[in-house]
Amino acid sequence: MADFYQNGIVTTLHNLADRPLEDMENELRQFARVRPMSLILPSLFSELEGEALPNIIEHLKGADYLAEIVIGLDRADLDQYRYALDFFGSLPQHHRVLWNEGPRLQALDAELQDLNLAPKELGKGRNVWYCMGYTLASKKSEAVALHDCDIVTYDREMLARLIYPIANPRFNYEFCKGFYARVADNKINGRVCRLLVTPLLRALKKVFGELEYLQYMDSFRYSLAGEFSFRKDVLNDIRIPSDWGLEIGVLSEMHRNYAHNRLCQVDIADTYDHKHQDLSFDDADKGLSKMSIDISKALFRKLATHGICFNEGTFRTLKASYFRIALDFVETYNNDAIMNGLSLDIHQEEKAVELFAHNIMQAGKAFLDGPMDTPFIPSWNRVISAKPDILERLHRAVEDDYKEFMAL
């Protein structure tokens, strides 16, 4: 059972009463009459063969309030795309699969690359960006939810709670972030959020003071959650990173574009588990090591837009402050685990803190060495300005793929 405490400057919607899913879905069906809803699923082909996504699809079959499901499919050849069409074909809702490696979408991407308007690297950010474009093009929804495809503890209630604050016409929220306790298999998970993001935000406050942006970011209970929902209009102006800084970048964009009373976070699950990444101590280009560098750079870039000046001395001070705060958090989490009968490996926790402290310095160096880097994907408004027919062509390319291969 959650508490009712409102921390920070972003509204928190709790799970106070274990409301029956049937009641909530009945309301969502009513909301759908005035505010149609859709779901974006960014997926790797490998996830179709995993344990999580088949279960997610079974649960989604009952979400009959959805007008559309948009699936972004990465790392798939022709046979795998055909397999995906059959795999998702059991969904009763209108749905489309964006074959990102297919020749039609590749040709469209090449055109945008020539204009420097396309994502510069492969990954979840690119996949989500094209799904957002297709959602705008399809014009089937006013409220949109997005969640990952590797959630092994998925239940349809997660989606209902995630989209409810955006779908309810009586609420004025433009954006909603999901949160949950990262506890599964008798362990406390979520190392990057627990041991990097929160202590780094507290360290940034120590070094630069109580900036409003830092207060805002520290208001989110699980800032790295891959589950969020938003009004369709949000898709036009948002600029998202193409790397592991996606979630931090989305929150930063919402801070830039909207007042705090238009944003909220919602408790969507009692337990949550998904595919775990390796810390990757020996390779900064993989796993949680790369993730920690990308996230740190995303925060530094955002603070620079607020007029904060960084130098080598700043990053040394920041690292020292972070390290002390993070080690104190390790003790806090260990005590929390003991009281709840959970396991927590202090040695592994402190090894992670040491890696993250090192990577804060690496991220700082990359930030100072690349002042002209533009990691954000252009907004769809900008792309439409340069290519007025781009959404129509994106929609047609996806439809042509679907019709061609469903006919075979």
Per-residue pLDDT band for 372 (boundaries 50, 70, 90) equals low
Q: Is residue 5 part of a domain?
A: no
List, for residues 316-340, the tens digit of each pLDDT value.
Answer: 999 999 999 999 999 999 999 999 9
Q: Which of 23-27, 159-163, 187-191, 374-378 has the lowest mean pLDDT?
A: 374-378
- At 286, is the secondary structure helix, strand, or coil? coil
**Mean of the pLDDT values across residues 33-42?**
98
Q: Is 363's pLDDT higher than 80?
A: yes
pLDDT computed for residue 209 by the predictor: 94
pLDDT computed for residue 245 by the predictor: 78
Q: Is residue 150 part of a domain?
A: yes
Q: Is residue 337 part of a domain?
A: yes
Token pair listed for 382: 């900008």
Q: Is residue 3 part of a domain?
A: no
List, for residues 137-176, the tens digit of each pLDDT value.
Answer: 999 999 999 999 999 999 999 999 999 999 999 999 999 9
**Mean of the pLDDT values across residues 260-271?**
95
* Contact assessment for residue 94 and residue 100, using Cβ atoms and an 8 Å cutoff: no
- Number of domains into which the chain is organized: 1
pLDDT computed for residue 242 by the predictor: 75
Q: Is residue 101 part of a domain?
A: yes
Q: Is residue 1 part of a domain?
A: no
List, for residues 126-136, the tens digit of each pLDDT value.
Answer: 999 999 999 99
**Mean of the pLDDT values across residues 71-96?**
97
Q: Is 303's pLDDT higher than 70?
A: yes
Q: Is residue 192 part of a domain?
A: yes
Dihedral sign computed on CA atoms, order 73, 79, 82, 88: negative
CATH of the domain at 309: 3.90.550.10
Q: Is residue 4 part of a domain?
A: no
- Counting Cβ atoms within 10 Å, is residue 89 exposed (0-12), middle (13-18) or buried (19+)? exposed
Helices marked H in 260-389 — which ranges?
A: 287-305, 312-339, 346-369, 380-386
Token pair listed for 53: 């996504």
Cα 68 versus chain centre, distance: 19
Q: Which domain holds residue 205?
A: 11-406
